Amino acid sequence: GNSVTQMEGPVTLSEEAFLTINCTYTATGYPSLFWYVQYPGEGLQLLLKATKADDKGSNKGFEATYRKETTSFHLEKGSVQVSDSAVYFCALSRGYQKVTFGTGTKLQVIP
Amino acid sequence: DAGITQSPRHKVTETGTPVTLRCHQTENHRYMYWYRQDPGHGLRLIHYSYGVKDTDKGEVSDGYSVSRSKTEDFLLTLESATSSQTSVYFCATDQGREETQYFGPGTRLLVL
């Protein structure tokens, strides 16, 4: 079946540091890949997505590239802010199959 | 953003009592989902619906039932609440076929 593995948290960074959150997946065919973000006390919301190999999703300074050869979709940001503190979920969706989520990575950015 | 509301937002109940959580959407999305979120487990799918009166089980469906009598409403019922069902419950919707899921704000349930 489909699966998503993302790095264990929490990740603690100083403001303006570079962020990478690793995500790898297992799926048949060519799934769509997503990063969702959950701010404290809220539901998840889409951060970015990519639907085919070599696509780059980007939003709010975050980027992730769909790498089929390494089955990865790592999330990066060049300079994090305190307001980026949240839980980040990697996810995949394939056809009409149910979405598969990773377990989430908590990011804490300190001033 | 999709308009998804959940009610109640917080609830405290006692073991053995029935509880119903409501999800309401205004986007006319075909698919609706109930998840629970617990520390160390991420999001786990309880039940989902692919149309009015069409529902199916997710990975943690025991002790839960659902109903969808209208496109916009999806109800989750705990027939007899247990302490293991203490959790944060999220409703989500999408149009299927690898589309973005939209989430409600969550319901925090405490079963004493």
B39 Cβ contact list (under 8 Å, min separation 6): none
Q: How far is B38 from chain A (nearest CA, A)?
A: 10
Q: What tens digit of pLDDT does each residue of B46-74 get?
A: 999 999 999 999 989 999 999 999 999 99
Of A36, A43, A102, the CB nearest to B105: A43
Residue A29: per-residue pLDDT: 84
Of A51, A98, A104, the CB nearest to B45: A98
Q: Which residues of A touch B103 (CB under 8 A)?
A: 43-45
Q: Is the dihedral of CA B26, B29, B34, B36 positive or negative?
A: negative
Residue A95 contacts B, CB cutoff 8 Å: yes
Q: Is the pLDDT reported for residue A80 higher than 90? A: yes
Q: What is the CA radius of gyration of chain B?
A: 13
Q: What tens digit of pLDDT does each residue of B81-98 get?
A: 999 999 999 999 998 777
At B2, is the pLDDT very low, low, confident or very high (cuts 50, 70, 90)? low
Residue A43 contacts B, CB cutoff 8 Å: yes
Q: Is the pLDDT reported for residue B36 higher than 90? A: yes
Q: Is the pLDDT reported for residue A9 higher than 90? A: no
Q: What tens digit of pLDDT does each residue of A21-77 get?
A: 999 999 988 899 999 999 999 999 999 999 999 999 999 999 999 999 999 999 999
Of B40, B42, B104, the CB nearest to A101: B42
Q: Which residues of B touch A95 (CB under 8 A)?
A: 97-98
**DSSP secondary structure string, B11-79?**
EEE-TT--EEEEEEESS--SEEEEEEEETTTEEEEEEEEEETTEEEE-TT-TTEEEEEEETTEEEEEES
A69 Cβ contact list (under 8 Å, min separation 6): none
Residue A69: per-residue pLDDT: 94
Contact A34, A91 (CB under 8 A): yes
